[in-house]
């Protein structure tokens, strides 16, 4: 259990270390503002320059906190919240200096055009200087903490290097010696042959690898695509040295290790802050939707209970992000004797009955099935499916964190086992209650078309796209359709 908890923390620590800097930056800016104010009213400063203005703390504090928010926006535009594992401290401090100086210039211009006088230039200048000092010290402290955590093995990413020659040797030596980069080299292979593939698979099976770095300058396109395909299939990060490819790939991040340019091919834009923003949207959105739909949830639960008794909620095993299984929650829309899952008996007989139904009545091709005029569905179940009320309990899946409001639809393990390799790409993000495929055709789309839409979504994700999909979903639901 302790090992499992540690692995989860190691996976999430990179996101935590990246995102914690924003609230800490704001605290440092606020501390600098208050420090500048109290410094101005220190007896020693008053002796040098008497106070000839009336600026109370109750009037100053809200204004200063609002200005600090503006400076945080400037920090964002300065790139201070972009995840960069090899950014030097001096580069970070220079960005802090530039952002704070831009903020100072904005305040100066604002004060210049004010009609009333403001005679405490000392507070402004002191606040600027202290902000640079406080934020720089905070960033340095975060870097020290991060390095200490990496040296203790916390948050470290396990990486395997494939390639030979000078570049591979430089990267192997750099990542092995400089533990502050946050990598642990778990293997160095010359080529991606069958022997290497087996070794990689064993490492992934034992949860001992997170990323593969391809550095072979003599590698051909076939080898590179084979490594990329392996990473997609096994949910591993893929990186390569910058001189390996001349073609353009979307969602790439470039940085240097030991003077060697490295390109990381990200499976989705949902990295660092994107992941945090989406999770916040899911938490807030699911709570709001649970409250708004609570009358429908209660009505649906009572309807199921009155018609066919318990259980009201149907737990169905589905495959989520990175191939992890979980149970989706739905209102039971079938008779108990036909339901599949750990809650019910006679599973072998029920599965055989369903397999025959799929052969006779499935209207979809490919790994995902859809049974037309399903005889297992109750009368209330048909109404719930028509209105999509049967899926309302999945809002609790979203709140728990194994689903998202927007994403690809989750499918059963037996369906996922039939996925083609390129179709497994949709498992790189959390499944959703609604998604681009759902608002584009709902259950009428062929599975391959769903995959294309879901792939487009994960490669072009933005919070605005999520918002548009969420707004359009109710209008799609209002369109009459036949419940299958």
Question: Can you give the pLDDT at residue 408?
Answer: 92
Quick one: pLDDT band at residue 484, thresholds 50, 70, 90?
very low
Quick one: pLDDT band at residue 77, thresholds 50, 70, 90?
confident
Tell me the domain boundaries of the chain. Answer: 2-151, 157-265, 273-478
pLDDT at 35 over 90: yes
pLDDT at 7 over 90: no
Q: Mean of the pLDDT values across residues 183-200?
A: 90
Question: Can you give the pLDDT at residue 207?
Answer: 87
pLDDT at 262 over 90: no
pLDDT in tens, 47-57: 777 766 677 78
Residue 455 corresponds to which tokens in the numbers above? 């792939």
pLDDT in tens, 410-436: 988 888 888 888 888 888 889 999 998
Considering the domain 157-265, what is its CATH architecture?
A: 3-Layer(aba) Sandwich (3.40)
Question: Can you give the pLDDT at residue 313?
Answer: 92
Q: Mean of the pLDDT values across residues 239-249?
A: 58
Quick one: pLDDT band at residue 13, thresholds 50, 70, 90?
low
pLDDT in tens, 84-96: 666 778 878 888 9
Quick one: pLDDT band at residue 4, thresholds 50, 70, 90?
very low
pLDDT at 398 over 90: yes
pLDDT at 9 over 60: no
Q: Are strands 211-214 and 237-241 parallel, antiparallel or unpaired?
A: parallel
Q: What does pLDDT average to over the chain?
A: 82
Q: What is the CA radius of gyration of the chain?
A: 28
Q: Mean pLDDT check: name the lowest of 191-205, 238-252, 336-350.
A: 238-252
| Cα distance between residue 150 and residue 184, in whole Å | 9
Question: Can you give the pLDDT at residue 217?
Answer: 56
**Rounded to the nearest 5°, which phi and psi values hold at 257?**
-130, 120
Q: Mean pLDDT check: name the lowest of 150-159, 243-252, 286-295, 309-318.
A: 243-252
Question: Can you give the pLDDT at residue 326?
Answer: 93
pLDDT in tens, 141-181: 988 888 888 888 777 889 999 988 878 888 888 888 887 78
Smallest CA-to-CA distance from 212 within 231, 193, 190 is with 231
> What pTM was computed for the model?
0.64
């Amino acid at each position: 259990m302790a090992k499992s908890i540690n692995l989860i923390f190691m996976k999430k620590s990179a996101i935590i270390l990246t995102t914690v800097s924003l609230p800490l930056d704001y605290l440092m800016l606020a501390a600098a503002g208050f420090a500048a104010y109290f410094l101005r009213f220190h007896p020693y400063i008053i002796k040098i320059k008497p106070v000839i203005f009336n600026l109370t703390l109750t009037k100053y504090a809200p204004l200063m906190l609002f200005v600090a928010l503006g400076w945080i926006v400037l920090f964002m535009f300065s790139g201070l919240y972009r995840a960069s594992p090899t950014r030097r401290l001096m580069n970070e401090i220079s960005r802090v200096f530039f952002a704070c100086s831009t903020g100072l210039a904005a305040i100066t211009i604002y004060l210049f055009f004010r009609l009333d006088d403001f005679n405490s230039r000392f507070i402004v200048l002191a606040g600027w200087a202290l902000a640079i000092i406080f934020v720089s010290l905070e960033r340095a402290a975060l870097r020290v903490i991060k390095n200490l955590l990496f040296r203790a093995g916390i948050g470290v990413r396990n990486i395997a290097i494939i390639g030979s020659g000078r570049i591979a040797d430089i990267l192997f030596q750099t990542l092995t010696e400089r533990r502050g980069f946050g990598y642990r080299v778990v293997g160095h292979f010359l080529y991606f042959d069958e022997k290497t593939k087996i070794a990689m698979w064993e490492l992934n099976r034992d949860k001992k690898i997170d990323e593969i770095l391809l550095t072979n300058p003599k590698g051909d396109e076939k080898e590179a695509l084979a490594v990329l395909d392996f990473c997609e299939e096994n949910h591993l990060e893929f990186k390569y040295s910058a001189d390996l490819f001349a073609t353009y790939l979307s969602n790439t991040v470039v940085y240097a290790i030991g003077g060697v340019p490295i390109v990381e091919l990200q499976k989705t834009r949902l990295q660092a802050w994107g992941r945090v923003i989406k999770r916040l949207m899911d938490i807030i959105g699911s709570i709001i939707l649970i409250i708004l739909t609570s009358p429908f949830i209660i009505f649906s639960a009572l309807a199921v209970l009155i018609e066919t008794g318990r259980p009201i909620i149907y737990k169905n095993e589905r495959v989520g992000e990175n191939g992890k299984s979980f149970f989706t929650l739905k209102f039971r829309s079938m008779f108990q004797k036909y339901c599949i899952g750990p809650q019910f008996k006679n599973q072998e007989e029920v599965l055989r009955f369903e397999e025959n139904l799929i052969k006779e009545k499935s209207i979809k091709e490919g790994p995902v099935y859809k049974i037309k005029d399903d005889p297992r569905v109750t009368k209330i179940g048909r109404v719930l499916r028509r209105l999509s009320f049967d899926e309302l309990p999945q809002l609790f899946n979203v709140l728990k964190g194994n689903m998202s409001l927007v994403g690809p639809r989750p499918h059963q393990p037996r369906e996922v086992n039939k996925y083609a390799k390129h179709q497994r790409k949709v498992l790189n993000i959390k499944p959703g209650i609604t998604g681009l495929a759902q608002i584009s055709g709902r259950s009428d789309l062929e599975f391959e078309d769903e995959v294309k839409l879901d792939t487009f979504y994960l490669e072009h994700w933005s919070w605005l796209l999520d918002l548009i999909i969420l707004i359009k979903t109710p209008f799609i639901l209002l369109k009459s359709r036949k419940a299958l």
